[in-house]
Structures are given as structure tokens and as C-alpha cells.
Amino acid sequence: MNIEKNRVVSLTYTLTLSNGDIADATTDQDPFTFIHGIGQTLEAFDRNLEGLKAGDAFNFTLTAEEGYGVSDPGAVVQVPASVFQGADVPEGILKVGNIIPMQDQMGNPLQGKIMDFNTELVTMDFNHPLADQSLQFTGAIVSVRDASAEELDHGHVHGPGGHHH
């Protein structure tokens, strides 16, 4: 069975960044399992897997634009240091390099990396941590099957390798 939209795909992979770092890897014992073509993965990732079947190997590279984008200087902002004060804020949270869960004005979750801080302002970078990196994926397809109606309705995989209710 070939990979196409609405099929459950299990695969192993190693993700190597353009700087040579290995960012992620899966194994046969714990493969990455997802429903293909419904937005659970990067669009270019799906496109490169289209048509493959169980047992096929793959090796492809996504550009930064196809992956997590190019850094936007506008995503580096200054936040009042007072945001990081109060009883519910962990002590010592303000450290350069810390990645802090935040929310935008609409309540959407964001991850911000502390770049610098002083008593009045905290400079945070809200670009994706993998922005500016090309992404090389090497791996193999473990299995391909049709997604069940329930999986498609819920938008995620059930059973082995997927979500359990």
C-alpha cells in the first residue's frame, strides 16, 4: 500500500540540521506514526513521502523555507520584565537561552527564547527554534494502512504508535 492522503504512516527517521546537529530520531521500537496529508507534518515532508510503501527508504532535504521558515527580525521583541514577576512565576526563570511558554494577545501558545534581560525589559525571540535550518530526513517506511473513520474524525492515530483514549 502506497502513502497517500488519509493513510496512517509509521516510519523511522533521523533529522539532521544544516549545522550538522541531529535534532531528532526515531527507532523501529518507537516509530513516528501520523495520518498523511492532513496537516500533522510539514507539507513538504508529506510531499516527499507520497507514493512510498512499507520497506522503502528515503533521504531528502527541506529548505528552511519548506521547513520552519527564515527568521523574522520582527519576532524578536522586548517584553516588560514585570511579566516575569509574581507568585506563579518560577524563581530564576530569567536566564539567557531559556525557552519560556507564552501566549500572544489572542491566547495562542508561543515559545519564546530569552536573548537578554535587565530589570526593566526581557528580549525574547519567538522565531521557531529550527528557523533558518535546512532539514535532512533519512529513514524508512515501517508500515502504511488506511486510517479508520474514527481516526480521521478525531484527526489523530489510535492504537499502537498513536493516541490511546
- Indicate the domain borders of the chain: 7-68+131-154, 73-125
Question: Residue 51 pLDDT more than 90?
Answer: yes
Q: Please report, as a single letter, which amino acid is at residue 70.
A: V
Which CATH code fits 73-125?
Answer: 2.40.10.330
Q: What pTM does this model have?
A: 0.81
Would residue 150 be called left, alpha or beta, if left means φ above 0 and alpha means ψ between -120 and 50 degrees?
A: alpha
Domain range 7-68+131-154, CATH class:
alpha beta
> 80-128, pLDDT tens digit by residue?
999 988 888 888 899 999 999 998 889 889 999 999 999 999 999 999 9
| CATH topology identical between 7-68+131-154 and 73-125 | no
